[in-house]
Structure 1
Amino acid sequence: MYHNLPSPFECLKETGPAPFLTKTYNIVEDSSTNNIVSWSRDNNSFIGFKKIDTERWEFAKEYFLRGHRHLLKNIRRRKTTSQTQTQTQSLEEGRFELEGEIQGLRKERVALVVELMRLRRKHESVKTYLHLMEEKLKLTEKKQEMMMDFLLKKIKKPSFFAELKET
């Protein structure tokens, strides 16, 4: 009954699942992405990983199961004979991978801040342009009103049509 439970010391040695696996799992698990990627009926496959049916784009990986996030730590990449590594190297690679990911996120953040500043400047420019256009529109409307008033005064004058015939 308890044969599947790890010993307390085993848990201390374990590293978490690769960030790629966690991100992929979260995307598949998120119901708002179901129109793009979702779990299969059996909850043991989705669009991603290894193709299992030539007629459908359905993919699966052992230990990648809906509702079993804790099993992600059991997923390992296929290793060639030259890829045998010690646990220390694996931890070092994980740290290096995290540092790389942090660097990438910092670069993305800087790019986003720059884009945000560009969009804010553009927004201000558009607001200024819109304000100028509103002022021009008001001026044009005022000129039209003045012209209409002028024409109405002229038309109401009895001699207007006589003067119009002469010209």
Structure 2
Amino acid sequence: MDEESKKGLLESVRKFSTPPFLLKTYMLVEDPATNDVVSWNDDGTTFVVLQPAEFARDLLPTLFNHCNFSSFVRQLNTYGFRKVTTSRWEFCNERFRKGEKELLCEIRRKKSWVRKRQHNSHEDERSFSSNYAVLMDENKRLKKENVVLHSELTTMKRKCKDLFDLVTKYSCAKDQKTMLCQVQEEREIKKKNKIADISENTNIFLSPMII
């Protein structure tokens, strides 16, 4: 099979396949068990979400893995659904009708939405590249600051060590001086005591001679 044939086959498959979103939505509307929450209108040309809160809380998570009603409505808009009235959540699409499930494969997303999504994707890529460049520059700046801070910290550690050594040396010298003073004081006291003892002994020895 040549490339043209493959492309034609893929296009046919794409054309006649039904988007999962539409199938899931059709299942919810078609199910009689959910008629008190969402159902067809009288002639089956539109569907009405009668209780949006319950629809989002109880039904959406069963098929869409989320409970965001606004997101569901946005998806409807991308497939060409329109809101019929402002008084309630009633939507219509000429190919979304009761009992005509085979028409679903003819519903396609709006091209403008696809282009917008592609545009947003390109914008996201450019934004990511820009943010990445900013982060890289910031990383380089922080690395430089880290080197400077490390150098300053090393200098401060060295100064603190020098100061500690100086204080220790001064403290030791002061202690030695204090000890020397104490020794000198003790010597002076001993000397005075010795002189006092000699004087006292002399007086005792001379006392009989004076009499």
Name the TM tier (shorter chain): 0.3 to 0.5
Q: Which has the higher contact order (CA 8 A, sep 6+)?
A: 2
Structure showing greater Rg? 2
Q: Provide the TM-score with structure 1 as the length reference.
A: 0.47
Whichever structure has more helix as a proportion of its residues is: 2
